[in-house]
Amino acid sequence: MKRTLGTCYYPEHWPEEMWAEDARRMAEAGLTWVRIGEFAWSRLEPAPGDMQWDWLDRAMDTLGDAGLRIVLGTPSATPPRWMLDRHPDMLALDGQGRPRGFGSRRHYCFSHDGYRAEAARVARLMAERYGSHPQLGAWQTDNEYGCHDTVISYSAAARQAFRLWLSERYGDIAALNAAWGNVFWSMEYDHFDQIDLPNLTVTEPNPAHSLAFRRFSSDQVVRFNRALVEAIRQGSDAPISHNYMGRVTEFDHYQTGADLEIATWDSYPLGFLEDRVGADDAHQRAFARQGDPDFQAFHHDLYRSVGRGRWWVMEQQPGPVNWAPHNPAPLPGMVRLWSWEAFAHGAEAVCYFRWRQAPFAQEQMHAGLLRPDSVEAPGLAEARQVALELADAPEVQPVQAPVGLIFDYDAEWAWEVQPHGAGLRYFDLVFAHYRALRRAGLSVEILSPTTREFSGYRMLLAPGLMHLPEALKEALAAFEGVLLIGPRTAARDGEFNIPVPLPPDWPGLDVVVARVESLRPDMPVTLVGGGAVVGYLEELEGAVETVLVAENGQPVCVRQGGTVYMAGWGDDAALDRLVAMMCEAAGLPCLALPDGVRCRETGTERFWFNYAAEARACPAGPLPPAGVLREAL
């Protein structure tokens, strides 16, 4: 596979006289791809049905003439103002019932049939016009589903669609009442049209109701995306992608991914560090100009899985961004490091957002590869360096990593619906395990909960899966390597009820979770030999081998055969011990990498990265700050 670079460009933002020179400079910098179009609806269709293709025809040709290949975005993330006159009820409503108004982007409700039809119409027209353009390389549907918290909507359209979704799922209302336990607090319904969305209730709604609404909301995104894919397919057979985000978990990305050929994601390491990694101040300070050492890698691995092997970075931060609480400049070398790290995880392409910094509107303070005056910004030199290095680099040979980690969107929603303790989030639990694996120098595959084939893995981790379909449970129980489950594994059935026999009810593991408690952040339960449980702890019954025990003698981690059950939320030190124990049992090497140093293996190379602001050593040699080392295997 050839690795390539690209950028995101908005021809509609610049006088046409600039396009050819921009295109020439992109090609000269070693870029292959240019993504355009995803926000251009008001210029493509200034009034309903008045299609203005000429400018886009010329932009495609100008970029193509410079040798660039085009990713064409469909513009449904930014419906123009006239759309609201045509569909006044298309706006999403927030949990308080307030409309999310016009004047930025992503204001539509995924459940609005009229808007979905408009979005599909413009996608079909674009595909009919450009589907056979010689330089068209790929499509992008919409832009960042879920960005700005836009998956969940409490609109009338959502309520109507939810009722239909429920009636299709449960068939009759008695089945729904029974499944949800609506006898509790006299919440029983007589027919589906009485069921509202789970907002504006006096106290918390029934968790089964909330979880059903989260599943429904995810399905609406899948359905919307599918409508765009079907529309594009009427005029084009080029691959179709979508650009996902970091830590957006409101819809099941594996399910949208199943309808697409390529998964891409938008990587903003410095913005994410402060905005969504969830690390403490000392960590944020230490990595302020580099980003979290694991957050990008986690998403690279996640989207490789979502794309079934085919994935890109569609937007790579090239300098300071505008949207985090603080927006520092990257340390010199980090744009290069982030790019190489994506390739080490198997990216086909890395595209920088954006070509030139915009002097107007919301993102004036967001760096591009060029300054607003077209002079090179620092990121461009690093992109050029990567292009030169790629020209000399061997082709990537992908290889399956020895460790699998299951990430399940449904579990994220279940934990959110019933965290049991403030701040306990499934994403953080999975990410904490991922970080521990990376500190041990391991390469990881992130697996969807629909995976049934685990051959080739030595170790599998499936923390926090609150509900497991029977088939997944059977496949995991049949796994012959070392398996980690818990806490909260199989703690609920598919309808959010506590199952009897009590969890985990796991074949070959004679333990029962007898009681659970959540803990204040300032009352960690320390473990004999180091580390602690924080936030959440289960009491186990059963006589199995104990591998981690609390100072008061309570078993925290137990093992029987190859199955390990973790009965609490381990801190970093506890998870390091857990991973070391599992590596030993699985016969895998376990390193203790210096702070900020990470490694990843492909079939042919081992990459070392230094996220620290100081020089570090790694087994392959010295690593300066932002250093990257490649070793042939």
Stretch that binds ligand GAL, among 47-55, 142-150, 172-180, 496-504 (CB under 6 A): 142-150
CB of 580 to ligand GAL, least distance (A): 38
Q: How far apart are alpha carbons 62 and 499 in whole angstroms?
A: 62
Residue 315 annotated in active site: yes
Nearer to ligand GAL, 102 or 323 (CB): 323
CB of 148 to ligand GAL, least distance (A): 9
CB of 412 to ligand GAL, least distance (A): 20
Q: Counting contacts by CB under 6 A, is residue 143 touching ligand GAL?
A: yes
| Residues between 183 and 212 that touch ligand GAL (CB under 6 A) | none
626: left (phi over 0), alpha (psi -120 to 50) or beta: left
Q: How far apart are alpha carbons 36 and 13 in whole angstroms?
A: 11
CB of 490 to ligand GAL, least distance (A): 36
Stretch that binds ligand GAL, among 143-151, 183-191, 599-607, 620-628 (CB under 6 A): 143-151
**Considering CB under 6 A, how many residues would be counted as binding ligand GAL?**
11
Which residue in the list 45, 315, 382, 538 is annotated as catalytic? 315
| Contact with ligand GAL (CB under 6 A) among 266, 294, 382, 408 | 266
Stretch that binds ligand GAL, among 46-54, 61-69, 139-147, 328-336 (CB under 6 A): 139-147
The Cβ of residue 83 has, within 10 Å, a number of other Cβ atoms equal to 23
Which residue in the list 118, 144, 412, 445 is annotated as catalytic? 144
CB of 271 to ligand GAL, least distance (A): 7
Q: Is 616 helix (H, G, I), strand (E, B) or coil?
A: strand
Q: Which helix (H) or strand (E) holds 156?
A: helix 156-170
DSSP code for 7 = E
Q: How far apart are alpha carbons 238 and 230 in whole angstroms?
A: 12
CB of 362 to ligand GAL, least distance (A): 8
99 near 54, Cβ under 8 Å? no
Long-range contacts of 395-399 (CB under 8 A, 24+ apart): 395/1, 395/2, 395/604, 396/1, 396/3, 396/343, 396/346, 396/602, 396/603, 396/604, 396/605, 397/602, 397/603, 397/604, 398/1, 398/309, 398/346, 398/602, 398/603, 399/601, 399/602, 399/603
Nearer to ligand GAL, 301 or 315 (CB): 315
Q: Cα(first)–Cα(last) distance of the chain, in Å?
A: 17
Question: Cα dihedral angle (358, 360, 365, 371), rounded to 10 degrees?
Answer: 30
CB of 8 to ligand GAL, least distance (A): 8
Question: Could you give the string, one character per residue 144-183, with x where binding to ligand GAL holds by CB under 6 A and - elsewhere?
Answer: x--x------------------------------------
User: Nearest-CA neighbor of 317 among 339, 285, 293, 349?
Assistant: 339
Residue 45 annotated in active site: no
| Contact with ligand GAL (CB under 6 A) among 165, 224, 268, 607 | 268
Who's near 76: CB < 8 A, 6+ residues apart? 41, 108, 118, 119, 122, 123, 141, 142, 228
Structure tokens at 584: 């030993």
Stretch that binds ligand GAL, among 9-17, 140-148, 253-261, 451-459 (CB under 6 A): 140-148
Q: Which helix (H) or strand (E) holds 122?
A: helix 113-130
Structure tokens at 18: 């600039």
Q: Counting contacts by CB under 6 A, is residue 250 touching ligand GAL?
A: no
| Residues between 288 and 327 that touch ligand GAL (CB under 6 A) | 315, 321, 323
Stretch that binds ligand GAL, among 19-27, 42-50, 94-102, 141-149 (CB under 6 A): 141-149
| Residues between 343 and 382 that touch ligand GAL (CB under 6 A) | 353, 363, 366
Nearer to ligand GAL, 142 or 538 (CB): 142
Q: Counting contacts by CB under 6 A, is residue 242 touching ligand GAL?
A: no
Helix ranges (DSSP H) in 247-393: 253-257, 269-275, 281-286, 295-306, 334-344, 378-392
Active site residues: 144, 315
The residues of the shown chain that bind ligand GAL, judged by CB under 6 A, are: 143-144, 147, 266, 268, 315, 321, 323, 353, 363, 366
